Structure 1
Amino acid sequence: MQPTWRKPAGMFAILALIVAWVILVASFSSQIAALAWPLQALIYFVTGIMWIAPLKPLLRWMETGRWRE
C-alpha cells in the first residue's frame, strides 16, 4: 500500500479542531463560572463530548478519501 497525504493532513486537522474547540469553550469560561456547579459540570461534560462529532467524517476521509459512505 502506498501512503497518502490524507493521514498527516487529517492528523493536523484533528489537532486544529481540538485547539479551536478548547479556545472557543475557554472563551466562555467566565460566563460558565457564574452558573451553579451542577450546570457547569453539565456544560463541560456536553462540550467535552461534542468535539467528537466532526471526527467520524474526517476519519472516514482519512481512510477512504470520501466524506460519505
Structure 2
Amino acid sequence: MREEPTLRIPLGILALLVALGIYGIVLATILPPVIGDWPTWAQTVVYLVLGVIWLLPLRRFLIWMETGRWSPPEE
C-alpha cells in the first residue's frame, strides 16, 4: 500500500472522464448517420459492443493510477 498521497488518482479520474466524454461525443456524432437506417436490433448490438469496448484498456489504466506502472505488480 502507498503511504504517501499521489496526484495520479485524481488526475487519472479526470483523464478518464475527459476521455469517456470525447469517446461518447465522437460516437454520438459519427454513428447515427452511419447506422441510422439499420434495424433496431443491429443498432442495439453496435451500441452494446461500443459501450463495452472502453472497458478493455481500463484495467491497465487503473493499475497505473494505483502503482505508477502500466503492468500489474509481480508477486
Q: Same fold (TM over 0.5)?
A: yes
Distance in 2 (CA, whole Å) between partners of 1:51 and 1:36 is 24
Q: Find out whether 1:64 has 2:67 as its counterpart.
A: yes
Correspondences of 1:34-45 after superposition (within 5 Å): 34-45=37-48
2:56 aligned partner: 53
Distance in 2 (CA, whole Å) between partners of 1:40 and 1:26 is 12
1:30 to partner: Cα distance: 2.1
2:27 aligned partner: 25
RMSD, aligned CA: 1.0
Taking structure 1 as the reference length, what is the TM-score of the superposition? 0.90
**Segments of 4+ in structure 1 off by > 4 A?**
none
1:55 to partner: Cα distance: 1.0
Q: Which runs of 5+ in 1 are unaligned?
A: none
What letter is aligned with 2:38? Answer: L
1:35 to partner: Cα distance: 0.8
Taking structure 2 as the reference length, what is the TM-score of the superposition? 0.84
Q: Tell me which protein shows more helix as a share of its residues.
A: 1
